[in-house]
């Protein structure tokens, strides 16, 4: 029961994190566009990243009913979380790196606590 609560709490945070981040990029919220520009991304790359994240969020929502989509979306968005963490660190932008750090941690927690996901090495 506790594992389920942890799983769905991390999942909810993951949807929230990438949901608002993708929509801010797609709808060109000025603060997001300025922040992405400061990190070295022009408008086209910002929109590309936003749509790619939005695709992942849609797959997360579909994944509530079809676990294959959820696991694929978590892995897909994990790449963006790691990328965001690296970019924030590279630009010494320590004010906003917590979201991406928690996104990385949430991805691992979601996959580790998902009964439909196994990693075989």
pLDDT at 96 > cutoff 80? no
- pTM score of the predicted model: 0.89
* Range scoring the smallest mean pLDDT among 68-77, 84-93, 100-109: 84-93
Which residue is associated with the tokens 């897909």?
76
Per-residue confidence (pLDDT) for residue 80, from 0 to 100: 94
Give dist(CA 29, CA 32) in Å, integer.
Answer: 5
- Give 90's contacts (C-beta < 8 A, 6+ positions apart): none
Tell me the torsion sign for CA atoms 47, 48, 51, 54.
negative
Tokens linked to 38: 């400061």
Residues 98, 5 contacting (CB under 8 angstroms):
no
Residues 74, 64 contacting (CB under 8 angstroms):
no
Distance of alpha carbon 91 from its chain centroid, rounded?
20
Q: Average model confidence (pLDDT) for the chain?
A: 91
pLDDT at 94 > cutoff 80? no
Give dist(CA 121, CA 11) in Å, integer.
Answer: 25
Q: What are the strands, taking DSSP E only, across 5-107?
A: none
Per-residue confidence (pLDDT) for residue 95, from 0 to 100: 77
pLDDT at 105 > cutoff 90? yes
Per-residue confidence (pLDDT) for residue 38, from 0 to 100: 84
Q: For residue range 8-56, what is the model confidence (pLDDT) as tens digits?
A: 999 999 999 999 999 999 999 998 898 889 888 899 999 999 999 999 9
């Amino acid at each position: 029961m506790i594992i389920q609560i942890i799983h769905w709490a991390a999942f909810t945070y993951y949807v929230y994190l990438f949901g608002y981040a993708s929509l801010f990029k797609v709808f060109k919220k000025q603060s997001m566009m300025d922040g992405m520009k400061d990190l070295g991304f022009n408008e086209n790359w910002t929109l590309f990243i936003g749509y790619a994240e939005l695709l992942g969020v849609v797959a997360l929502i579909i994944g509530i009913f079809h676990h294959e989509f959820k696991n694929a979306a978590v892995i897909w968005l994990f790449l963006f979380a790691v990328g965001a963490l690296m970019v924030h660190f590279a630009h010494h932008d320590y004010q906003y790196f917590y979201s991406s750090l928690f996104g990385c941690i949430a991805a691992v927690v979601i996959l580790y606590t998902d009964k439909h996901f196994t990693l075989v090495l």
